[in-house]
Amino acid sequence: MQEFITIARVAKTQGRHGEVAAELHTDFPEKFAERKKLFALSADGKRRELQLEEFWSHKSYVVLKFAGVDSITDAEALVGCELQVPLEQRAALDAGAYVSDLVGCEVFDRERPVGTVKDVQFGAGEAPLLVVVQGSKEILIPFAQEFIAGIDIEGKRVEMKLPAGMLELDAPLSEEEKSEAGGAKSGSRKQEAGGR
């Protein structure tokens, strides 16, 4: 059975001639120029083949025009669908890896172990987010080119150079941070803590 990967999700109709606006789930929007055939996967699990006629960027979306989808009513049928390509047509990341290859890799920040990649999320920003399991918690790390120091898919290892403090963003607040967040009421507690 053929496997597919999702490269976009139709968010809404766009225009009066059947165009749709889609959220990108790929770092390679330029690949739409090569991809004339896409597959729309609807919520009920049905997949239909679509021929891409045109595409262009609009705000945070990519606008797509498919053959035979020529009205708002036609386009409404695609809203919510995942737009997919066969797995073998996936694009390699700049770092030379496929996103699906990253699941199960150990992530290191300057040789310090961070955790294991459980999943990869798209759509929140410019770069996909690695969902990294660290003990009992999950942390999200942008898989951005500027943070990647090296990838060894066979060795299941991702080396990163993360900005100072990034891994602490999800960390519980320290007593001092809690005091500062508490405002004037916590001022006396903060002084007591400082006096110890």
Sheet holding 106-109, edge to edge: 137-142, 129-134, 112-121, 106-109, 157-160, 148-152
> What's the 3-state SS for 64-101?
EEECCCCCHHHHHCCCCCEEEEEHHHCCCCCCCCCHHH
pLDDT score at 90: 67
pLDDT > 90: percent of the chain: 33
Q: Residue-wise over 138-171: b if at least 16 C-beta within 10 A, else e? A: ebebbbbeebbeebeeeeeebbbebeeeebeeee
Is 143 or 71 the better-scoring residue by pLDDT? 71
Q: Residues 130-142: what's their mean pLDDT?
A: 89
Which SS3 state, helix, strand or coil, does residue 177 take?
Answer: helix
Q: What is the pLDDT of residue 177?
A: 47
Would you say residue 58 has pLDDT above 70? yes
Span 64-68, average pLDDT: 96
pLDDT of residue 78: 96
User: Would you state the structure tokens that stand for residue 115, as one six-digit string?
Assistant: 């955790």
Q: Would you tell me how many other CB atoms lie within 10 Å of the CB of residue 114?
A: 20
What are the two backbone dihedrals, phi and then psi, of residue 100, each rounded to the nearest 5 degrees? Answer: -65, -25
Coil, strand or helix at 102: helix
Residue 192 clears pLDDT 50, i.e. is over it: no
Which has more confidence, 146 or 189?
146
pLDDT digits (tens, 9 = 90+) for 1-39: 678 888 889 999 999 999 999 988 766 677 777 788 999
pLDDT at 82 over 60: yes
Q: Compare 91 and 14 and report the one with higher pLDDT.
A: 14
Phi-psi map region of 115: left, alpha, beta (phi>0 left; psi -120 to 50 alpha): left
Tell me, what's the pLDDT at 91? 59
**For residue 110, what is the DSSP state?**
T
- Banded pLDDT at 143 (limits 50, 70, 90): confident
Region class of 59: left (phi > 0), else alpha (psi between -120 and 50), else beta:
left
Crossing angle for the helix pair 175-182 and 187-195, nearest 10 degrees?
Answer: 150
The whole-model pTM stands at 0.51
